[in-house]
Amino acid sequence: MAFDWHSDPLSRGTPVTPGYKNTQNVRRFMREQCGPTFKFNRPFMAWILNGVPKTMGDVVDEWQRREVTLA
């Protein structure tokens, strides 16, 4: 059965699957992990979907890395 990005529980260990979607469930998880300033942007979304295997923990770490670089 395919992972449901709308309702399945997310953790840092959740693999980003080919069916990944930027859902409210994902946004909620990212805000919990990264704080209230989290938001998606096109370069970040492209990185998530670049075909390189990653977990949601990798996604959180990359967003935080980018935020530190921009600050």
Q: What is the pLDDT of residues 18-39, one digit of tens each?
A: 999 999 999 999 999 999 999 9
User: Quick one: 63 exposed, middle or buried, by C-beta within 10 A (0-12, 13-18, 19+)?
Assistant: buried
Has residue 57 got a pLDDT over 80?
yes
Rounded to whole angstroms, the Cα distance separating 19 from 38 reads 22
Question: In total, how many domains does the chain have?
Answer: 1
18 inside domain: no
13 inside domain: no
38 inside domain: yes
pTM of the model: 0.93
Domain that holds residue 46: 24-70
3 inside domain: no
60 inside domain: yes
Q: Distances in Å between the alpha carbon of 34 and those of 3, 4, 17, 51, 68? A: 23, 22, 21, 23, 12
12 inside domain: no
